[in-house]
């Protein structure tokens, strides 16, 4: 199940191209990594966001490929969008990856993480204000929950034929279940989002002390009851949105999050709740379908989540799991939510709380995090 892509700029149509006479020279200066010329052209009025029309490549993309860190930094400071896409769906980070410039990859990742953290912070503030105005929660998943879903062989589809969950995920869910259950098989485990029940079956096979499942969709809940999940020893089903039913549950030793039709801000809100229901030393993980169709965006999203969880006193790592999804898997599915990558980065976050912070310290820490980001490799 995929999370929302970050907003991105795409190449302009030829009719929309600004005839700024300084733009093409800026593109050539970026290709050469000539910082002096770049600054002169920007001062003369060249557009830092310029993209040529044929292939849609931007000045930042060419600077990233040139190997000049200073050129990239200059363009970013001038407002060049880090997430602009060329006509092949590639961004500046991918140009740097292809050219093998790890130092530029780091600069772009750090800039992108800070930008996305700030954007997310402002978006959550806006949502909070809207909730106060309208009262109650704004349910972004209401449309999905109000529509039928159907089980078709090795997949669960919604009414639009989008994949809610599919059998190809099984190797990933087996790996997640091993992380959640550990070696002693005596853990209280929570799974948020049943779907096809793949990870829940894996948890049952490995064994645990208790197994709580939150599921919001009525069709899925009905299937769970038909299959006897409510009668399995140690299993407890909480039917409803996690936002509505999680109060009073826990504490748990392991938590897994894999919802559908929710926004990234919903995931952030869930993360804020996890320390309240996870025991110290407990493990949190989630299905890592963040930005699945762009390797650089995926890396930025992973870095952003890592920073967010570290703020909440988790130690975070991403473990590599090999995965190979045959193209035929997607027959009958409207949109792919995994795009040809052979490696899956499985998140493992272990909760090690320190002495409780004061509310003022915690609040100031939230804002401070917007100004700092970890260096990371994609």
Using CA atoms, how far apart are residues 362 and 47, in angstroms rounded to an integer? 40
Residue with tokens 């309208």: 134
Q: Is residue 342 a part of any domain in this protein?
A: yes
- Boundary-marking domain end, from 47, 78, 100: 100
Count of structural domains, the chain: 2
261/272 Cα distance (integer angstroms): 19
100, 131, 157: which is the final residue of a domain? 100
Report how far Cα 192 is from the mean position of its chain's Cα atoms.
Answer: 16
Looking from the CA of 362 toward its CB, the CA atoms found within 13 Å total: 10
The reply to whether 378 falls in a domain is no
pLDDT score of 372: 39
149 shares its domain with 90: no
3-32 pLDDT, tens digit each:
444 445 666 655 444 458 999 999 999 999
Q: Are residues 88 and 192 in the same domain?
A: no
Q: In terms of domains, do 296 and 178 share one?
A: yes
CA 295 distance to own-chain centroid: 12
**Token couple for 198:** 């793949």
Return the higher-pLDDT residue of 340 and 254. 254
Q: Are residues 341 and 240 located together in one domain of the fold?
A: yes
Q: What is the mean pLDDT of residues 78-88?
A: 97
Confidence of residue 89 (pLDDT cuts 50, 70, 90): very high
Q: Is residue 105 in some structural domain? A: no
Identify which has the larger pLDDT, 358 or 333: 333
Which contacts qualify for 230-235: CB closer than 8 Å, 24 or more apart?
232/204, 234/208, 234/209, 234/210, 235/204, 235/210, 235/211
What pTM, to 2 d.p., does this model score?
Answer: 0.85
The answer to whether position 106 is within a domain reads no
Across 53-57, average pLDDT: 96
191 within a domain of the structure (yes/no): yes
pLDDT band at 374 (very low <50, low <70, confident <90, very high): very low
Do both 95 and 210 map to the same domain?
no
Average of per-residue pLDDT values in the chain:
89
Same domain, 96 and 152: no
Residue-level pLDDT at 123 = 77
- CATH number of domain containing 210: 3.40.50.150
Q: Is residue 160 part of a domain?
A: yes
120 inside domain: no
Q: List the beta bridge partners of residue 192.
A: 214, 257
- What percent of the chain stands above pLDDT 70? 85
How far is Cα 180 from Cα 289, in angstroms, rounded to an integer?
A: 18
Under a CB-based contact definition with an 8 Å cutoff, are residues 185 and 165 in contact? no
Tell the residue number behind the tokens 């770049």, with chain if given.
38
Q: What is the predicted pLDDT for the residue at 52?
A: 96
Same domain? 222 vs 90? no
Phi, psi of 192 (to 5 degrees): -105, 105
Assigned token pair, 234: 């140690």
Query: How far apart are the C-alpha atoms of 207 and 338, rounded to whole Å?
Result: 29
Mean pLDDT of all residues in 123-146: 69
Q: Which domain holds residue 172?
A: 142-369
Count CB neighbours of 159 within 10 A: 12
Instruction: Answer yes or no: do 249 and 159 share one domain.
Output: yes
182 and 240 in a common domain: yes
Mean pLDDT of 172-181: 99
Same domain, 162 and 65: no
**30 domain-assigned:** yes
**CA pair distance 167, 174, nearest whole angstrom:** 12
User: Would you place residue 75 in the very low, low, confident or very high pLDDT band (cuts 50, 70, 90)?
Assistant: very high
Choosing from 100, 128, 157, the residue where a domain stops is: 100
Same-domain pairing of 19 and 152? no
CATH of the domain at 90: 1.25.40.20
Tens-place pLDDT, residues 280-337: 999 999 999 999 989 999 999 999 999 999 999 999 999 999 999 999 999 999 999 9
């Amino acid at each position: 199940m995929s999370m929302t892509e970050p907003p991105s700029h795409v190449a302009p149509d030829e009719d929309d191209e600004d005839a700024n006479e300084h733009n093409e020279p800026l593109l050539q200066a970026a290709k050469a990594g000539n910082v002096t010329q770049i600054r002169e052209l920007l001062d003369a009025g060249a557009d830092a966001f310029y993209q040529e029309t044929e292939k849609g490549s931007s000045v930042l993309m060419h600077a990233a490929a040139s190997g000049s860190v200073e050129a990239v930094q200059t363009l970013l400071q001038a407002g060049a969008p880090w997430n602009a896409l060329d006509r092949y769906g590639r961004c500046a980070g991918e140009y740097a990856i292809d050219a093998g410039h790890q130092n530029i990859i780091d600069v772009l990742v750090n800039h992108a993480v800070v930008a996305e953290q700030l954007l997310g912070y402002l978006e959550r503030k806006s949502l909070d204000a809207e909730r106060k105005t309208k009262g109650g929660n704004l349910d972004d998943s209401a449309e999905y929950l109000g529509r039928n879903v159907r089980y078709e062989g090795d997949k669960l589809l919604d009414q639009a034929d989008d994949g809610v969950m599919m059998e190809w995920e099984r190797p990933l869910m087996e790996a997640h279940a091993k992380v959640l259950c550990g070696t002693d098989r005596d853990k209280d485990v929570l799974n948020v989002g049943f779907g096809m029940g793949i990870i829940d079956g894996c948890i049952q096979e490995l064994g645990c002390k208790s197994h709580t499942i939150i599921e919001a969709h009525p069709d899925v809940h009905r299937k769970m009851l038909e299959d006897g999940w409510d009668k399995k020893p140690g299993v407890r089903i909480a039917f409803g949105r996690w936002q509505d039913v999680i109060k009073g549950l826990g504490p748990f030793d392991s938590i897994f999050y894999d919802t559908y039709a929710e926004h990234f801000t919903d995931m952030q809100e869930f993360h804020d709740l996890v320390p309240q229901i996870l025991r110290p030393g407990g493990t949190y993980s989630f299905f890592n379908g963040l930005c699945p169709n762009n390797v650089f965006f995926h890396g930025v999203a992973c870095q952003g989540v890592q920073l967010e969880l570290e703020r909440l006193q988790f130690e975070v790592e991403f473990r590599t799991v090999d995965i190979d999804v045959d193209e035929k898997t997607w027959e009958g599915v409207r949109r792919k939510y995994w795009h040809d990558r052979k490696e899956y980065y499985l998140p493992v976050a272990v909760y090690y709380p320190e002495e409780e912070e004061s509310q003022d310290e915690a609040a100031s820490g939230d804002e401070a995090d917007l100004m700092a980001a970890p260096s990371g490799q994609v």
